[in-house]
Structure 1
Amino acid sequence: MDAAMTSTTDTACPSCGGPVAEADLFCEACGAELKPGTPAAAAPGTPALDTDTEPTVEIDAVGSLDGGPVGPCASCGGTVGTDGYCETCGTKAAKPRDHFVEQPAPWVAGVCDRGIRHSRNEDAMALGADPEPGSRALLVVCDGVSSSLDSDVASLAAARAALEVLVADHAHGIGTETSRAGAIAARLKAAADAASDAVLDSTSPDSPNPASCTFVAAVVEDGLLVAGNIGDSRAYWFPDVGEPVGLTTDDSWAAELIAGGVPREEAESGPHAHAITRWLGKDAPDHTPRTTTLEVDGAGWLLVCSDGLWNYCSEAAPLADLVRQTAADNNGEPKATASALVDWANAQGGQDNITVALARV
């Protein structure tokens, strides 16, 4: 849930539509210079498609995500001060967390982006993969709950902790497919436990609104796909031939309405559409992921994403068409495809943080 408070003397930034005071020289949201007499832009609720006002920083190493702005000012090359603004031109510097990329292998990649409307990126991802295409991929996405404190810290800690558990070893079971699926599902549950512990470690004991986030993870190992989730981040399987599959079911008020017979479009556009019923956090009722297992018998795309993407294309079939067409436009390259899907979500309005993680199996 997002809320904004502005005074009666506020206007709107002409670059991003964010609220600014008449005395401000620069927009707090995007860093754009504000000149006296500049006409106000559309109301803050109007989608703004121009994201060029605040440069992004793409990084492939997650270790630097915890810090502040990296390097010199992208606009003029000046020094970025400790307040995050260029000391020469006043442009607000991008934070590494605003837009980052991971590609552990050529066939697996993800892009995590702040979007247009949020002031910070509360999404996080952590990816792992073996070099051989289709052999083993581990995709984790966590989406911080905006109404909780330090959700951006919690989501990143949760994603990293879960991946650490998943990469620890291969799950072989006792040699049968059923036992192997059960072993992977058990590892997913252990990963969710580790993610939950990481969220708790990121929460102040006396916090009035404990940090919380969603969790979704998918594991591909030698023709077997297992996905598990808590909250409303999702995993999908889009085979090149055959019906696309939604691998997860949201823990949300909207999902309960859909299960009760309410049309999906109506349920997912209602006032409580994004109210989740399960999450990771100190006040979570339960953090055991519900898992789904699927045998992969052909080529396709595994998509793990936050609601910043599926908000604009929820059902499996049309989302599969979007992913396939976007992949075709980008020569089937996962990193370029994920980036293009993020751009597409921003073009639809970018109302939320966006995370797109893909594996080309």
Structure 2
Amino acid sequence: MSAASHHSTPQSAAAAFDTTRKAGGADGPWRLSVAPMMDWTDRHCRYFHRLLTPHARLYTEMVTSAALVHGSRLHLLEHSQQEHPVALQLGGSDPAELARAARFGEQAGYDEINLNVGCPSDRVQSGRFGACLMREPALVAQCMQAMAAAVAVPVTVKCRIGVDDQDAYADLQHFTETMLEAGVRVLTVHARKAWLKGLSPKENRDIPPLDYERVYRLKREFPELVIAINGGITTVDQVREHLAHVDGVMLGRAAYHNPYLLAEIEQALWGTPLPTRAEVLEHMRGYVEAERARDVHLRHITRHLLGLFLGQPGGRRFRRVLSEGAHLANADWSLLEEALSQTRPRAA
């Protein structure tokens, strides 16, 4: 686990914001990122994604500030040096508690602290954080100011375009103005509303219609903000189209289910040579063997690799070998070699 040793001051936080103010555009650090996804973007997933995209910003699953302040910080904050740049996403609404959690995140070496103002789950609502905070921009501003005063790394917000019957663009505009006044310089916007009443978290990812133009308008009206867009983005061409309007694109489920897409976007945006899928898998070997030596069960790693050969010859066989074998107690790297062999042309 990486660690940072410095403590910050409000002055250093201001310096960080000056940096992020200049961070939009062609090569800004938020140009491409992989969304925080509960139960998916754990440290094994992030290590794998980093092999596919050297440049993308990676995000942890949401960690509640209460869990960090009162729970097992070492476990919750664990990550490898290879994951950088990597951001810690927090959930919470208590400014003092969030400030403490942010400080722990910075000390653990995270490059950014992000506040979740977009998750629609029932558990999140009962805890007064996530998407319901879209209705309380003044409270979010207090949280962001407290976090910014506690750390030197950028503090950022991920939000929705609205929540429930909060449907006017003016509401999003007011939320954004409040964030700007609080010193926020980076906003990632999921271009769907969240319906907290009547839709499940899963339905909230698909049913509310996408409104990309609303996010584009936000960028036009707040050019000083770094604005990244999230929601329904599945192709290289879509990424290019969005980047004509905003500073960054955040991919969610598409990056998880079809991870090789990250390598294709990486090549399109930065000209990075495209590795083969087999090369990506081979680069996992040292990591897999080291984790197995720590008694980490193979299935915790391979569950993130199932989509690597999506749509490719032998892709289903690759997935089946991993799915059927990774749960065995003695499963090790040889299972991945067996799975990889399923993708090679078979002799006549």
TM-score under structure 1 length normalisation = 0.28
More strand, by proportion? 1
Normalising by structure 2, we get a TM-score of 0.29
Higher helix share: 2
